[in-house]
């Protein structure tokens, strides 16, 4: 007897329907399928094998036809290149959207602090470009007025401060409320980071509207709002979602991809790569991210195309040039000093910190999200957002490192102190007689650095906790930037500490040999970067893609080893505490059907042990190939809820002939009753080639061979479960029949197993 878990309702899976009736008929069959055939219902899992072989048939048909006429030849060529065209479009669209988001987010973030008189649409930086002030205090220019300056006419005094504070909070609340209301009202799917869902979709699940145009529009807008509201969230995850929406929507331009779920998923993988590529300006990292993190079925062709899409996107973004500097990458860093082997110790410490934080974050975030799902807290998303935003804003304003946007903070932390640096982090006790060129020697930290340390410590504590409550709210929220910020702060703190240690105690044994008096041996910025990598790795469990992204940020192979050491340590530590990364955890939390490719089976089970029917269930419901009448079949359909039935030779010898799906049976019987005359309840249904010998008196018979799947996947009841799961993963099956000595004792497995 067959039964499917609810998450995978029936679906048509006679993918070689034409296999046995010869090519021609199959082609017709492909061209004009019965209504409802070949589509999936919402929240279904697709049948990869079938989709792929459908595409192969399509391809074969086109190539065979291409010899006939020039027109067909052109068609086949255009068909071959449509994929590349699609990638180009995705890259362009994703790149420009990312640019748009960056620019507007930048502007609105500054809007919280003040406005530009030269034109309110200028952000702080542009505003001061206009005015010809000196380079150093470019952020103080007459055109730019803080709110207090605008309203009171001056920016000094407690009252002005309070006014600015007030405006900051008000704007933040305004933005976030607008965001949550938009999401709630128009596109509920637009919330969150979207990567867990995209992972699930790429694994073959169908969530209608999740990648639709409304989600795209709303997510783009609300992402800007959420980011500029100063909440502790990033735009990277959502950008992947946005890019995938672009991909999905653009798929509709090409029949090849519109009609085939498997092909479309290839496009989506590429789109995800483009998303990361624009998020960080790291094309290669993006492709590897898509390969390592989100994708399920990733053929080489897709690799190459994703790379193309990622590049196009990156360059579109660059030509829009949102960061003012014509840099591709989000955080451009340039370090001058090599690192010393001994520094691996602090780097590994950072790795451990990252791992611990990652595990801690995942646990508490999941716990919080579960409470949100279960308790009635979840009923008031707007209130929740309001409260969290208020708290965040109130805590953020007094501390300049939390007041500035998180990405600014990160790039300041990554930054290595040059001579001209005006930042507080670089307020060292200068002795310019010992400066040579650009790289300054280690120096004693000035008061500025010490205050910065305190503020950073506070910022660290705040971010650690607030992020837990922020991620998972009903606004678009990415996780990369906050985790990186946490790591970067911790790293910078450690880096400065090391630097001071090296300065004051350069005679210690550990420093001897590589860090002499007045030399520049410690680069705090590098520590920040390593810390960021460690925390990001701890949360997402990315490895290669993470390191490659960081490598593309620095553009120097020198620093790969520290990054790698940290990433590896953090992954090991985090894995030791909890196996799954944040995305898998959320997938499980939301109960999406996802067959994790990484997990191992701890105990040994056989197909026999997990199959239905269980030993003491009623026997398997089967349909015989040429002895059942229409009403028999209809009664079976009505009595049982299973999505398909094995067809056997006869009840006595339960030899498996094929597999027929409930949906097809219903459709085609109805069809026959309507169109085909002489079909009555007593007429026999047969799945064989030739009609069975029956008395001439009997009513005309119904041949349903065309809907019979003659090559169902079968395993013997002795097959170990790992192998069965392997088959499911690698071939992307939806169900599988279990045979015992060739006879049906069938049971389904489906991608949600186990």
Comparison of 125 and 717: residue with beta carbon closer to its own copies: 717
From the number of C-beta atoms within 10 Å of its C-beta (0-12, 13-18, 19+), residue 188 rates as: middle
Closest CB to its own copies among residues 158, 557: 557
Q: Which is nearer to its own copies, 186 or 304 (CB)?
A: 304
Question: Under a CB-based contact definition with an 8 Å cutoff, are residues 280 and 542 in contact?
Answer: no
Q: Is 716 buried (19+), middle (13-18) or exposed (0-12) by CB count in 10 A?
A: middle
Closer by beta carbon to its own copies, 20 or else 390: 20
Secondary structure of 377-433 in the HEC alphabet? HHHCHHHHHHHHHHHHHHHHCCCHHHHCCHHHHHHHHHCCCCCCCCCHHHCECCCHH
| β-sheet bridge partners, residue 45 | 205
Pairing state between β 628-629 and 684-686: antiparallel
CB of 742 to its own copies, least distance (A): 3
For residues 598-631, b (16+ Cβ closer than 10 Å) or e, as one string? eeeeeeeebbbeebbbeeeeeebbbbbbbebbbe
Token look-up 């192969």 returns 56
Q: DSSP secondary-structure letter at 606?
A: B
Task: Output 374 or 741, the one with its CB closest to its own copies.
Answer: 741
Q: CA angle 132-137-141, nearest 5°?
A: 50
- DSSP 3-state of 656: strand
Q: Which is nearer to its own copies, 211 or 649 (CB)?
A: 649
Least distance (Å) between residue 435 CB and its own copies: 24
State the nearest-atom distance from the C-beta of 226 to its own copies, in Å: 29
Cα–Cα dist 360/577, whole Å = 9
Rank residues 503 and 687 by Cβ distance to its own copies and give the closer one: 687
Q: Measured from the CB atom, is 735 or 739 closer to its own copies?
A: 739
Please identify, using beta-carbon distances, which residue of 453 and 544 lies nearer to its own copies.
544
Min separation Cβ 619 and its own copies, Å: 17
How many angstroms separate the CA atoms of 656 and 633, rounded? Answer: 17
C-alpha distances in Å from residue 31, one per residue of 57, 93, 442 = 11, 32, 73
Distance, CA of 45 to CA of 723 (rounded, Å): 20
């Amino acid at each position: 007897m067959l039964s499917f878990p609810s998450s995978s309702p029936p679906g048509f899976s006679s993918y070689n329907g034409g296999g046995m009736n010869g090519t021609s008929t199959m082609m017709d069959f492909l061209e004009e399928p019965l209504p409802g055939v070949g589509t999936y219902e919402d929240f279904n899992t697709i049948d990869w094998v079938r989709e792929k072989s459908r595409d192969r048939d399509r391809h074969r048909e086109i190539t065979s036809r291409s010899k006939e006429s020039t027109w067909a030849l052109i068609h086949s060529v255009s068909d071959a290149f449509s994929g590349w065209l699609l990638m180009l479009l995705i890259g362009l669209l994703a790149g420009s959207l990312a640019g748009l988001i960056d620019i507007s987010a930048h502007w609105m973030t500054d809007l919280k602090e003040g406005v530009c008189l030269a034109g309110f649409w200028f952000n702080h930086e542009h505003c001061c470009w206009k005015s010809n002030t000196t380079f150093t205090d470019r952020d103080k220019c007459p055109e730019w007025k803080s709110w207090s300056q605008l309203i009171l006419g001056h920016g000094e005094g407690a009252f002005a401060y309070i006014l600015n504070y007030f405006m900051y909070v008000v704007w933040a609340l305004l933005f976030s409320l607008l965001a949550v209301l938009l999401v709630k009202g128009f596109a509920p799917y637009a919330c969150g980071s979207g990567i867990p869902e995209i992972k699930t979709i790429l694994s073959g699940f169908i969530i209608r509207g999740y990648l639709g145009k409304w989600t795209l529009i709303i997510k783009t807008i609300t992402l800007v709002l959420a980011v500029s509201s100063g909440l502790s969230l990033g735009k990277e995850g959502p950008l992947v979602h946005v890019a995938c929406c672009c991909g999905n929507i653009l798929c509709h331009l090409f029949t090849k991809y519109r009609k085939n779920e498997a092909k479309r998923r290839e496009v989506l993988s590429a789109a995800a790569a483009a998303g990361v590529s624009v998020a960080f300006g790291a094309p290669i990292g993006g492709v590897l991210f898509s390969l390592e993190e989100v994708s399920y079925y990733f053929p080489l062709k897709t690799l190459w195309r994703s790379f193309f899409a990622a590049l196009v996107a990156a360059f579109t973004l660059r030509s829009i040039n949102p960061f003012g500097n014509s840099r591709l990458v989000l955080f451009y860093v340039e370090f001058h000093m090599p690192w010393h082997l001994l520094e691996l110790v602090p780097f590994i410490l950072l790795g451990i910190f990252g791992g611990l934080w990652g595990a801690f974050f995942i646990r508490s975030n999941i716990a919080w999200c579960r409470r949100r799902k279960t308790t009635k807290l979840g009923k008031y998303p707007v209130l929740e957002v309001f409260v969290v935003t208020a708290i965040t804003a109130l805590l953020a304003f007094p501390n300049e490192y939390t007041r500035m946007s998180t990405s600014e903070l990160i790039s300041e932390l990554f930054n290595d102190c040059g001579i001209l640096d005006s930042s507080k982090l670089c307020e060292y006790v200068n002795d310019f007689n010992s400066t040579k060129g650009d790289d300054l020697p280690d120096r004693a930290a000035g008061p500025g650095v010490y205050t910065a340390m305190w503020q950073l410590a506070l910022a660290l504590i705040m971010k650690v906790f607030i992020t837990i409550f922020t991620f998972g709210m009903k606004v678009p929220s990415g996780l990369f930037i906050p985790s990186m910020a946490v790591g970067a702060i911790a790293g910078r703190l450690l880096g400065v500490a090391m630097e001071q240690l090296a300065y004051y105690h350069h005679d210690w044994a550990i420093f001897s040999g590589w860090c002499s008096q007045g030399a520049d041996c410690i680069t705090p910025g590098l520590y920040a970067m390593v810390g960021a990598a460690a925390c990001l790795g701890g949360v997402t469990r990315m490895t290669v893609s993470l390191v490659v992204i960081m490598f593309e940020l620095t553009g120097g192979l020198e620093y790969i080893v520290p990054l790698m050491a940290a990433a590896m340590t953090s992954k090991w530590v985090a894995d030791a505490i909890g196996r799954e990364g944040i995305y898998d955890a959320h997938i499980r939390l939301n109960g999406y059907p996802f067959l994790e490719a990484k997990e191992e089976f701890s105990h040994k089970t056989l197909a026999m042990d997990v199959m239905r029917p269980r030993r003491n269930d009623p026997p398997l419901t089967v349909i015989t190939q040429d002895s059942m009448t229409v009403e028999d079949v209809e009664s079976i359909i009505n009595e049982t809820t299973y999505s398909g039935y094995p067809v056997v030779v006869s009840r006595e010898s339960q030899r498996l002939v094929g597999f027929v799906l409930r949906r097809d049976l219903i459709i085609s019987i109805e069809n026959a009753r309507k169109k085909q005359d002489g079909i009555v309840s007593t007429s026999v249904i047969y799945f064989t080639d030739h009609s069975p010998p029956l008395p001439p008196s009997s009513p005309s018979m119904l041949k349903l061979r065309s809907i019979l799947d003659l090559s169902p996947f079968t395993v013997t009841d002795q097959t170990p479960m790992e192998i069965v799961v392997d088959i499911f993963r690698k071939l992307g099956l939806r169900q599988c029949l279990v045979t015992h000595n060739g006879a049906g004792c069938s049971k389904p497995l489906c991608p949600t197993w186990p």
